[in-house]
Structure 1
């Protein structure tokens, strides 16, 4: 390794839902923070790849082409095993890393991806209808136009966070001052006052989502099983798109707890190998440095590619440079090296090269011209 280059291998963009207003903002921030290897990682979408590629090129950044799915493992579900969704046994988030660009996905696998994305959008449309019925019942004085939300706030993929944003914007438009907005939120929330600071848009949107769109909320719509493909099918789609199926670890939460699946690291690694996984990732702000180092040391020794990212799939605009839950300054040197080694492996795969060393050479040449 000539020089460690900082990496963020998991960034959502407005092609799904993102803190960023556009791809340029994300990549301008990356360049300003000297994060030179960046991975687009949208839900069910490769639509942003061309823009990501072109905008990275103008900034001498190396683009990773990734994707994210929510899958279902029926064996884990039947066993009541929580994998990497703490609230839903069997439900498993998966990423694909280093997909081919230009996009090669076609045929049956492309249709399966299109179908699951359409079902995901349809679920949010059903949620919007239920939200409008609630707004009518509480006499909010406005409704949310789903087609307008799609047109104004999305690039084709609609998430419940878009609805929360649309509702926050509608309240801002309907109520002239802070006092009126607070009163309107209290009515919409069934008599509960808004807990967030009214001027904090990100916090308000998160509270809307929590109180209205999640389980128990007035506009909650359970997800149809059709929205979740079997884990094996998702892996097949990722491989058909040229990518590496990747398991995203949650690891330790704020209270130091782990899911059923991840608590026994050796067993988790063995199970992932049996299921054909050779790559894992972590969203570093979730975890302590000590846990990240312990888990990633073990997983690297077991032969897994390990990468890190930040997601940026909430309204809060956080730095692109990675940090851990207990170190706002950034990653330890050990973790920086782990992340860069993983990026070298993904870059080699993405470019059709045969070694981590070849990936390192490609990244150094792209970023530094050497």
Structure 2
């Protein structure tokens, strides 16, 4: 069995800033698993289809390679990555997952404008008409030429927004202002700086400027508008300090907050065109059902479906895991409502924790009653997404012409993709050079592998 110091060294290599080191570490991890020197939990129904990586922001600094290894070691049924505005982690993650025989998917998350809800808050608090939205199940990061400009512009717009926030917050947090490149870009592997990176950079800058805890507490007390005692508690807990910085400076009312201009975000129809044309699945991001835009699940889903969405993503932990019993009851009620509405429409559902803030779970507690009753639905969604990712390379993805011509209705299509995804791992998929043409023949063959 691998020694603890060797395991720690391997973990460091898997999260290295050097992609070549990460690739070699994955190969080493795979060999140690095969030799039994790393004990891997038998496959179970745990899964996380919404893991942000270090290419946007991961709360634990995890690379795409590390997330694949995490899934393998813990026996996850499947794993999926999602990054803000870029597909930079996709190829590495799918390659690592294939080496480890982990069902996998990769996607992108951004914000889009929904004209029909222009005056209603949806899933981006305080920002009417603006919706977080996802594309899941990309097979490769090299999107078609017709969509490359859209992907590039997503990156550019995110970069401009974050630079603009930093410029405003720099004045407010002077003298702890940032040199954007030297202080923030260095925290990312490919310059995709997010608000959370900025918060980390501001915390680290203040630590350099004010080396004593007394001076640092005084600085943050003044800037955050809290007592010196509260500031002292915050600097002892970096996670909470960074959250306080973000809340005070970057959220509505903060010095770095810029009210969203619909012109700064693509219309959701255009984003869905990009996603579908790139072989992925336009996916609704659902928050909690409390906003005006999410208050009527049927209306919300029908609007999205009319614009091309074909899947729903939820972050279940925030939909039940709160200390207030009354709020928990309301959250669970809304969770059940949106899932019931999805079932009525044969809309697949995928689940994940995000991992884009320290403290978020690595995997959901699917044993909790609020989630346990939906576990089969979640696993079907993960299986469907894995099958779509594998079959997309053959031109047989979930929204492909092949799929349109092969199934009588969405229910039949969902049943096939979920079944195929449950039966076929990446290793089994590679074991055949060709697959038969009909869904029935494919399932019959998959059942024998």
TM-score range normalised by the length of the shorter chain: 0.7 to 0.9
What CA distance in whole angstroms lies between the structure 1 residues aligned with 2:71 and 2:351? Answer: 15
Q: What are the residue-to-residue correspondences of 1:161-310 with 2, within 5 Å?
A: 161-189=196-224, 193=228, 194=230, 197-223=234-260, 225-252=262-289, 258-288=290-320, 289=332, 291-310=334-353
Given the two structures, how large is their TM-score scaled by the length of structure 2? 0.71
Deviations 1:312-362 (A, max 9, x none): 122x143322137xx7x5874432211110122222222225522222222
Partner of 1:99, secondary structure, is coil
**Residue 336, structure 1, aligned to residue 375, structure 2:** yes
Deviations 1:49-97 (A, max 9, x none): 12212332343322201111100012210xx222222311111111111
Q: Who is 2:423 aligned against?
A: 361
Partner of 1:263, secondary structure, is coil
State which structure, 1 or 2, has the greater radius of gyration over its C-alpha atoms. 2
Contact kept in structure 2, 1:62 and 1:366, CA below 8 Å: no
* Distance of aligned partners of 1:292 and 1:269 in 2 relative to their CA distance in 1, 3 Å threshold: same
* Distance of aligned partners of 1:38 and 1:153 in 2 relative to their CA distance in 1, 3 Å threshold: same
Displacement of 1:230 after TM fit? 0.4
* Distance of aligned partners of 1:220 and 1:153 in 2 relative to their CA distance in 1, 3 Å threshold: same
What CA distance in whole angstroms lies between the structure 1 residues aligned with 2:288 and 2:168? Answer: 35
What CA distance in whole angstroms lies between the structure 2 residues aligned with 1:317 and 1:216? Answer: 25
Q: 2:165 aligns with which of 127, 140, 143?
A: 127
Given the two structures, how large is their TM-score scaled by the length of structure 1? 0.85
The structure whose RCO (Cα within 8 Å, separation 6+) is larger is 1
What CA distance in whole angstroms lies between the structure 1 residues aligned with 2:344 and 2:262? Answer: 36
Q: Which has the higher strand share?
A: 1
Q: What are the residue-to-residue correspondences of 1:47-196 with 2, within 5 Å?
A: 47-77=88-118, 80-101=119-140, 103-136=141-174, 140=175, 142-154=176-188, 155-189=190-224, 193=228, 194=230
Gaps of 5+ in 2: 1-42, 321-331, 397-402, 404-415, 432-448
What CA distance in whole angstroms lies between the structure 1 residues aligned with 2:278 and 2:191? Answer: 20
What CA distance in whole angstroms lies between the structure 1 residues aligned with 2:295 and 2:116? Answer: 18
* Distance of aligned partners of 1:223 and 1:158 in 2 relative to their CA distance in 1, 3 Å threshold: farther
Contact kept in structure 1, 2:314 and 2:352, CA below 8 Å: yes
* CA RMSD, 1 decimal: 2.6
Displacement of 1:121 after TM fit? 0.8
Q: 2:364 aligns with which of 322, 326, 335?
A: 322
Stretch deviating more after TM superposition (89-98 or 265-274):
265-274
Contact kept in structure 1, 2:159 and 2:192, CA below 8 Å: yes
Q: Who is 2:436 aligned against?
A: none
What CA distance in whole angstroms lies between the structure 2 residues aligned with 1:71 and 1:218? Answer: 24
What CA distance in whole angstroms lies between the structure 2 residues aligned with 1:118 and 1:305? Answer: 31
Displacement of 1:366 after TM fit? 5.9
Contact kept in structure 2, 1:321 and 1:330, CA below 8 Å: no
Contact kept in structure 2, 1:4 and 1:337, CA below 8 Å: no
**Residue 26, structure 1, aligned to residue 67, structure 2:** yes
Contact kept in structure 1, 2:387 and 2:420, CA below 8 Å: yes
* Distance of aligned partners of 1:186 and 1:197 in 2 relative to their CA distance in 1, 3 Å threshold: closer
* Distance of aligned partners of 1:124 and 1:151 in 2 relative to their CA distance in 1, 3 Å threshold: closer
Partner of 1:116, secondary structure, is helix
What CA distance in whole angstroms lies between the structure 2 residues aligned with 1:298 and 1:116? Answer: 31
